[in-house]
Amino acid sequence: MRAFSYERAISVEAAAKAVSANPDAKFIAGGTNLLDLMKLEIETPTHLIDVNGLALDTIETMSDGGLRIGALVRNTDLAANETVRRDYGLLSRALLAGASGQLRNRATTAGNLLQRTRCPYFYDPNQPCNKREPGTGCSAITGFSRQHAIVGASDACIATHPGDMAVAMRALDARVETVTAEGRTRSIAIADFHCLPGDTPHIETVLDRGELIIAVTLPAPIGGRQIYKKVRDRASYAFALVSVAAVIQPDGSGTVAIGGVAHKPWRIEAADDVLRDGAKAVASVLLADAKPTEQNSYKVDLVERTLAAVIRDARD
């Protein structure tokens, strides 16, 4: 790991300004992803700004009935929160499906949204990777692609978003609250927060330089059966091959998002409209533009089978 300097932020505005002014600075909270990347010299910040003291770790009910989750709320605390378990069970289940208990104790809400892909070629500095070094190429396209994207990818990158939490938040129509270096606040729909790779896979979110996440908000509870089903190679501490986050109402309507298949949590609202028609209809809309490789084409069928299991569980 390269040498770096360190400071504790004294305010949200000061933290945002400090990172904006220094192209080699980064925020740090739980550090569960950043420190690993620094050890491999994939991330090489020269200055870290610790935001843990900014009192962004509360969960509050809003006046409209929704929920406001502070950026620094730990994954363990969020999953165990009584209101989340009662009204947003999908989110709690997705969090508990991720990582390990030790990591959930440290990982934050904002950090979870910002975690970077676990593509092995991204993690190997000896392999070309457009996400790590723009313009060098994508080793996954011609390499081992079993775990990679089948939809929303590009000729520059076929990596997937590794998280579980964001998939649930996509199904729940969450919004991300931020503060910019100029002190502006904005609210970003989770649908717009993560970027598809296109020709710039190194640009992963719509955040500006120095923009700091301060909270995630959820709309008022929508009820229904809330199910998160994750298919992976082993029972714990593994990333999704395919995951399904669904809220299904008694009349069969609802919302569906899937993970493990794209550069971002994947949801096509038109797929929600055919939820009553069954898994095959939903999958055909979600994966209408799928371009799997020979090694990951199994995901097309796996999405449909996982959707079928979720719909069956909801009806039962």
Under the banding of pLDDT at 50, 70 and 90, the label for residue 113 is very high
Average pLDDT, the chain: 97
The two structure tokens encoding residue 22: 């220094």
pLDDT digits (tens, 9 = 90+) for 127-142: 999 999 999 999 999 9
Residue 252: CB atoms within 10 A of its CB come to: 13
Q: Count of H helices and E strands in the chain?
A: 13, 11
SS3 of 134, please?
coil
Write the CB contacts of 226 (distance below 8 Å, at least 6 apart in sequence): 88, 89, 90, 93, 246, 247, 248
Confidence at residue 309, expressed as pLDDT on a 0 to 100 scale? 98
SS3 of 92, please?
helix
Which among 294, 293, 301, 231 has a CA at the least distance from the CA of 260? 231
What percent of the chain shows pLDDT beyond 70? Answer: 100
pTM of the model: 0.97
Let me know if 22 is exposed, middle or buried by CB neighbors in 10 A (0-12, 13-18, 19+): middle
Confidence at residue 120, expressed as pLDDT on a 0 to 100 scale? 97
Confidence at residue 242, expressed as pLDDT on a 0 to 100 scale? 98
pLDDT digits (tens, 9 = 90+) for 11-61: 999 999 999 999 999 999 999 999 999 999 999 999 999 999 999 999 999
Measured distance CA(65)–CA(68) in Å, rounded: 10
pLDDT digits (tens, 9 = 90+) for 183-225: 999 999 999 999 999 999 999 999 999 999 999 999 999 999 9
Write the CB contacts of 81 (distance below 8 Å, at least 6 apart in sequence): 59, 92
Please identify which residue in the block is written with the tokens 């969450």. Answer: 174
Confidence at residue 316, expressed as pLDDT on a 0 to 100 scale? 86
Please identify which residue in the block is written with the tokens 């709690």. Answer: 92
Confidence at residue 5, expressed as pLDDT on a 0 to 100 scale? 97
Confidence at residue 232, expressed as pLDDT on a 0 to 100 scale? 97
Confidence at residue 236, expressed as pLDDT on a 0 to 100 scale? 86
Under the banding of pLDDT at 50, 70 and 90, the label for residue 257 is very high
